[in-house]
């Protein structure tokens, strides 16, 4: 069942084998065995991976429930009271890189049998991952308020963002309006990022000509373009703090950029194992000092 869910999420026998730490033939054998036992074709085999069939999508929710039941059984049977299990947390790139590693390291010391996997994901992908059984996210951290639906939101605080440029860039000095900023190139994170989408809207509204805006899926790529003097970007302060301190980036003085709310998201319909509860509590505790 676990192999089935991992393949459903990754869509690749190779990626599933790597995540499960087995050879690819083992994944193939397990899926064939499952399809034979259920007398169903669960996946369409495509040249570039796999895709769930309609029957496969029906099986996903039941597979997740089965694994949750198994996890509850093992947790109830443990005699030593130790917390154990695997927990996958989705979060933005900056949160995965700068906020969560310390939490994971501290958890590994207190609970060595709890294994936390970090999965970089934008807001929409993270919310879908918590909602969908096949996506495999036990919790997510998002930088905007999410629709209520099946989600439970826990506010963790606010994440400051910075408008930055290279020290030699024309925007590095003086005070600038949105109209002034629209004359420069901007390297923003991909659409769906709430704070960069807001900046893009302000730039488009301020300029009669279409501003030069490039979208990136990586903070590192956007920051590198800015450091090279090619334009401006809006990035989480935690991702640029060291670069501001060393002088490879500088703050651009301009319109106020509000801090972005940070939420921890779980699925209220899914049973939280002791391991998931432990990880959620550790993140909440750590966020108080961010």
* Predicted confidence (pLDDT) per residue in 35-84, tens digit: 999 999 999 999 889 999 999 988 987 887 888 777 777 767 665 667 88
63 and 151 co-located in one domain: no
Q: Is the pTM of this model over 0.85?
A: no
Are 260 and 143 within 8 A, CB to CB?
Answer: yes
Residues 276 and 141 in one domain: yes
Whole-number Å distance between alpha carbons of 206 and 256: 15
**How many domains does the chain contain in total?**
3
Q: Strands 233-236 and 161-165, how do they pair? A: antiparallel
Q: Are residues 66 and 103 in the same domain?
A: no
CATH number of the structural domain spanning residue 123: 3.40.190.10
Domain identity same for 82 and 72: no
Which phi and psi (to 5°) does residue 74 adopt? -65, -40
**Domain-ending residue, one of 55, 77, 99:** 77
Partners of 136 in the β-ladder: none
Residues 176 and 254 in one domain: yes
- Per-residue pLDDT tens for 208-267? 888 899 999 889 999 999 999 999 999 999 999 999 999 999 999 999 999 999 999 998
| Distance separating alpha carbons of residues 264 and 284, to the nearest angstrom | 8
Residue 273: which domain range?
A: 78-157+261-290
């Amino acid at each position: 069942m676990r192999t089935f869910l991992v393949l459903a999420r990754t869509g690749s026998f190779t990626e599933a084998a790597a995540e499960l730490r087995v050879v690819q033939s083992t994944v193939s054998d397990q899926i064939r065995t499952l399809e034979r036992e259920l007398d169903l074709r669960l996946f369409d085999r495509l040249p570039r991976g796999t895709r769930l069939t309609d029957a496969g999508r029906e099986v996903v929710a039941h597979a997740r429930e089965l694994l949750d039941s198994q996890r509850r059984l093992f947790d109830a049977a443990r005699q030593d009271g130790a917390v154990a299990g695997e927990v996958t947390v989705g979060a933005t790139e900056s949160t995965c890189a700068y906020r969560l590693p310390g939490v994971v390291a501290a958890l590994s010391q207190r609970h060595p049998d709890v294994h936390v996997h970090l999965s970089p994901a934008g807001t929409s992908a993270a919310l879908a991952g918590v909602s969908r059984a096949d996506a495999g996210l036990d919790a997510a951290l998002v930088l905007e308020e999410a629709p209520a639906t099946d989600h439970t939101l826990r506010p963790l605080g606010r994440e400051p963002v910075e408008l930055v440029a290279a020290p030699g860039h024309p925007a590095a000095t003086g005070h600038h309006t949105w109209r002034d900023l629209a004359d420069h190139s901007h390297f923003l994170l991909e659409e769906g990022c709430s704070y960069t989408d807001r900046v893009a809207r302000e730039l488009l509204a301020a300029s009669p000509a279409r501003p030069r805006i490039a979208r990136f899926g990586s903070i590192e790529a956007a920051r590198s373009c800015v450091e090279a003097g090619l334009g401006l970007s809006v990035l989480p302060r935690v991702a640029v703090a060291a670069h501001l301190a060393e002088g490879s980036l500088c703050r651009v003085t301009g319109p106020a950029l509000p801090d972005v709310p940070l939420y921890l998201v779980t699925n209220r319909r899914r049973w939280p194992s002791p391991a998931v509860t432990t990880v959620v509590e550790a993140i909440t505790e750590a966020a108080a000092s961010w």
